[in-house]
């Protein structure tokens, strides 16, 4: 089921960019809007995916989850670091 398109985005582009985008859309047999939306969505998903998704193979996920479940260990070097006065 497709979503109803209710929002608009207005863009200003340089003539060279306009020509390039229109040419690429035609080459992909898409309208300019379809091309820009698909391209923008793909880039947005890649960009945000690196910040919001964490995927590991099953064995590595089990090791990672196990490390998270273990109680924290005291690290004396960190304790000393955080006790020091902050440089001004």
Contact 3, 14 (CB under 8 A): no
What is the residue-level pLDDT of the chain in tens, covering all 88 positions? 678 989 999 999 999 999 999 999 999 999 999 999 999 999 999 889 878 888 899 999 999 999 999 998 899 999 999 999 988 8
> Which pLDDT does position 51 carry in this prediction?
84
Which residue's entry shows tokens 């304790």? 79
Contact 48, 40 (CB under 8 A): no
| Residues whose CB is less than 8 angstroms from the CB of residue 56 and which lie 6 or more positions away in sequence, other chains included | 64
pTM for the full predicted model: 0.58
| Residues whose CB is less than 8 angstroms from the CB of residue 28 and which lie 6 or more positions away in sequence, other chains included | 35
């Amino acid at each position: 089921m497709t979503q109803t398109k209710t929002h608009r985005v207005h863009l200003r582009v340089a003539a060279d960019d306009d020509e390039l985008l229109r040419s690429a859309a035609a080459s992909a047999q898409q309208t300019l809007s379809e091309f820009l939306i698909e391209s923008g969505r793909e880039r947005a998903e890649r960009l945000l995916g690196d910040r919001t998704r964490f995927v590991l193979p099953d064995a590595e996920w089990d090791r990672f989850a196990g490390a998270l479940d273990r109680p924290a260990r005291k690290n004396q070097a960190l304790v000393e670091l955080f006790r020091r006065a902050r440089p001004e």
